[in-house]
Chain A
């Protein structure tokens, strides 16, 4: 089935929750090369006035698009992706944090679609203007 068949603006195409732990942050630090200690050291985070150790913004951006990638399967690819980092995600050493992502169709044209993401922790939005351009694979 083609990616665009029956796709309608406003349709929710994917929804997923991502439980983060401190382990997730250490793994992302290693994979990305971003070793800023505010992402794994409580003392450093406190010293610069943060409410706690924060997830890398790029980690949140990285997983927030995955529900769209999984929904696409082999029918298309992500050709453009942008986010604004509006609120940091504090990751508690014991409880971690849970980020919930909802992906909604914002526009459809002949070669693909724009999917908008919401990413929330509890009631609070952590990404703004999160837009994914998906392009059909010929």
Chain B
């Protein structure tokens, strides 16, 4: 792992338009059956503009920033050795269909532990007005040659 990754500035991703059918598809895949994920009327009754994305939906958008990280030629990350260690989503407000979200990646820490490397990164997602919506924080464990 290249420790200088923590200083690097990554370009914001192209805006991701959250679609109503994508929210429904993702909701079905994670057994999210609550009406607010599927029915715009139920979502409006709860005070939201449109169907609400399930809590882990931002991982779909964070995928684009993960690809940025893996594509860094000097990152030294072999994807076949990568294991997802932990994950967090920290919200300012729920995501709803119609949101246009832009993610900006930052590598916050790189550690070595028993021959493995652990890289923690944050993808901060903002809406079309520039307001913060959610930050996805991931730690990836890159297994060393011995394990």
Closest residue to B141 on the A side, CB-wise? A85
B residues within 8 A CB of A61? Answer: 56, 87
Chain B 35-70 interface 0/1 with A at a Cβ cutoff of 8 Å (1 = within): 010000000011100001011100110010000000
The reply to whether A33 and B63 form a contact with Cβ atoms under 8 Å apart is yes
Give complex CA distance A81, B54 in Å. 11
B28 at the interface (CB under 8 A from A): yes
Say whether chain A's binding surface is mostly helix, strand, loop, or mixed.
Answer: mixed
The reply to whether A82 and B88 form a contact with Cβ atoms under 8 Å apart is yes
B34 at the interface (CB under 8 A from A): yes
Partner among B46, B55, B80, B87 whose Cβ is within 8 Å of the Cβ of A48: B80
The reply to whether A74 and B46 form a contact with Cβ atoms under 8 Å apart is yes
Chain B 89-112 interface 0/1 with A at a Cβ cutoff of 8 Å (1 = within): 111001000000000000000000
The reply to whether A18 and B63 form a contact with Cβ atoms under 8 Å apart is no
A residues within 8 A CB of B63? Answer: 32-34
How many B residues face the partner with a CB closer than 8 A? 32
B70-89: which residues lie under 8 A (CB-CB) from chain A?
80, 83-89
Chain A 114-138 interface 0/1 with B at a Cβ cutoff of 8 Å (1 = within): 0000000000000001001000010
A-B contact count (CB 8 A): 98
A5 at the interface (CB under 8 A from B): no
Closest residue to A131 on the B side, CB-wise? B88
B residues within 8 A CB of A63? Answer: 30-32
How many A residues face the partner with a CB closer than 8 A? 34
A77-97: which residues lie under 8 A (CB-CB) from chain B?
77-85
Q: What distance in Å separates the Cβ of B64 from its nearest Cβ neighbour in chain A?
A: 9
B residues within 8 A CB of A74? Answer: 36, 45-47
B residues within 8 A CB of A106? Answer: none
Given the known inter-chain contacts A57-B87, A58-B87, please indicate yes or no for A69 contacting B28, CB distance below 8 A.
no
A30 at the interface (CB under 8 A from B): yes
Give complex CA distance A32, B87 in Å. 15
The reply to whether B45 and A81 form a contact with Cβ atoms under 8 Å apart is no
B29 at the interface (CB under 8 A from A): yes
The reply to whether B54 and A69 form a contact with Cβ atoms under 8 Å apart is yes
